[in-house]
């Protein structure tokens, strides 16, 4: 296996923390390990290692893909909720980082406040992997790039169009565009543009991207159409308003008629079928959403295998 150390970081908190070479190394390990994992033939590279999986939000894919993925390497996993550890309330982030680092060999965390995850990573002596914050979702986009490359070949030069909210996924795509040479377009309502600091960083780094409010023009000739919920975890109280504001941003077969003939459709899931995406598109011939879900496990296992010693 071609596992190698990432040049600069012990943690995986944001995609653009890494060089393109590091990101490519993770993706090629993920590709190498996928058939072995499917055949139940992965060597146990991490026996007697434990990964703590900390969740402040619900999950299907993230929890199961991290737990099963690490167990496939011979490791153990622990599921911990925010209510139990009370990071930042019952105990300081610093103290939680110190204590967890004495017990486990890695921490995966799904949290609200991104800065608290950055602080946890800073104070922990073991690797910390971001399993989604309000600001970004880097492991998802690594799995997405893996999926795009399986179906369309290299992402280099491709156009990826996200139709929807300028949210954590949009931010991770902007971060990815800093490193990978593809073109990113976000078509979002005017009120829902991405975080300005994230946009400025992408601009300053020379990433190829555009933010527009016209989905029909955005998808013209696109190779990848990307969807996410109109409201994210923690925004449930805004659901009614958001459903109204985002109605013209639904991904329909009609909208996709302008995309490249060989386009693929991705959705990080969970999908609200009939809201941001129709059943016809989700279940249609261009949809690769379940390959994408599976690749969460392969991409993340490669991240864990690389970071956890
Ligand atoms: N895509 C994703 O992160 O799914 P879960 O919320 O189910 O983990
Ligand atoms: N933007 C969504 C992604 C879910 C995987 C959320 O944060 O809830």
Ligand 2 proximity of 228 Cβ (cutoff 6 Å): yes
Q: What is the pLDDT of residues 249-263, one digit of tens each?
A: 999 999 999 999 999
* Nearest atom of ligand 1 to the alpha carbon of 58: 6
Please give the share of the chain, as a percent, with pLDDT higher than 90. Answer: 97
- Output the residue whose Cα is nearest ligand 1's atom 6: 59
Structure letter (DSSP) for residue 26: H
Q: What is the pLDDT of residues 104-154, one digit of tens each?
A: 999 999 999 999 999 999 999 999 999 999 999 999 999 999 999 999 999
Please give the share of the chain, as a percent, with pLDDT higher than 70. Answer: 97
| 265 Ramachandran zone, left/alpha/beta (phi>0; psi -120 to 50) | beta
Domain 15-137+296-307 adopts which CATH fold?
Rossmann fold (3.40.50)
**Catalytic one among 53, 139, 188, 268?**
268
Tell me the pLDDT of the chain averaged across its residues: 97
Q: Flag whether pLDDT at 7 surpasses 80.
A: no
Tell me whether residue 268 is one of the annotated catalytic residues. Answer: yes
Domain ranges of the chain: 15-137+296-307, 140-293
Let me know the angle formed at the C-alpha of 247 by 277 and 237, rounded to the nearest 5 degrees.
95
Provide the pLDDT for residue 191: 98
Cα of 229 from ligand 2 centre, angstroms = 7
- Which segments of the chain does DSSP mark as H helices, in order? 20-38, 61-72, 82-85, 93-103, 114-123, 138-152, 168-179, 196-204, 215-218, 239-245, 253-256, 279-282, 289-307
Ligand 2 proximity of 142 Cβ (cutoff 6 Å): no
What is the arithmetic mean of pLDDT over 167-183?
Answer: 98
Residue 192 near residue 168 (C-beta atoms within 8 A): no
Is the omega angle on the peptide bond into residue 270 within 30 degrees of 0, that is, cis? yes
Tell me the C-alpha distance between 234 and 112, whole Å. Answer: 8
**Domains 15-137+296-307 and 140-293 in one fold:** yes
Ligand 2 proximity of 268 Cβ (cutoff 6 Å): yes
Q: Is 140-293 in CATH node 3.30.450.70?
A: no
Strand partners, 267: 227
Provide the pLDDT for residue 2: 45
* Nearest atom of ligand 1 to the alpha carbon of 293: 1
Q: What is the pLDDT of residues 67-78, one digit of tens each?
A: 999 999 999 999
pLDDT tier for residue 9 given thresholds of 50, 70 and 90: confident
């Amino acid at each position: 296996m071609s596992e190698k150390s990432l040049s600069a970081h012990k943690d995986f908190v944001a995609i653009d923390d890494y060089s393109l070479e590091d990101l490519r190394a993770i993706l090629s390990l993920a590709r190498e390990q996928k058939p072995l994992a499917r055949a139940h033939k992965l060597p146990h590279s991490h026996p007697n290692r434990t990964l703590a999986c900390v969740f402040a939000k619900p999950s299907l894919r993230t929890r199961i893909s991290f737990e099963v993925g690490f167990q496939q390497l011979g490791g153990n996993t622990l599921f911990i909720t925010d209510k139990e550890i009370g990071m930042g309330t019952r105990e300081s982030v610093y103290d939680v980082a110190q204590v967890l680092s004495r017990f486990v060999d890695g921490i995966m965390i799904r949290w609200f406040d991104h800065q608290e995850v950055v602080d946890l990573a800073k104070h922990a002596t073991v690797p910390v992997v971001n399993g989604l914050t309000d600001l970004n979702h880097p492991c998802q986009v690594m799995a997405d790039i893996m999926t795009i490359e399986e179906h369309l070949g290299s992402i280099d030069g491709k156009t990826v169009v996200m139709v929807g909210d300028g949210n954590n996924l949009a931010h991770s795509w902007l971060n990815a565009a800093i490193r990978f040479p593809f073109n990113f377009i976000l078509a979002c309502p005017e009120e829902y543009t991405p975080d300005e600091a994230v946009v400025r960083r992408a601009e300053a780094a020379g990433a190829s991207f555009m933010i527009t409010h016209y989905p029909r023009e955005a998808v013209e000739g696109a190779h990848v159409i990307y969807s996410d919920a109109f409201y994210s975890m923690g925004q449930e109280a805004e659901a009614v308003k958001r459903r109204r504001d985002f109605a013209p941003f639904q991904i329909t077969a009609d909208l996709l008629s302008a995309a490249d003939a060989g386009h693929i459709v991705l959705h990080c899931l969970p999908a609200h079928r009939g809201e941001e995406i129709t059943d016809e598109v989700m279940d249609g011939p261009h949809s690769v959403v379940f390959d994408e879900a599976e690749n969460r496990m392969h991409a993340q296992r490669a991240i864990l295998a690389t970071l956890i010693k």
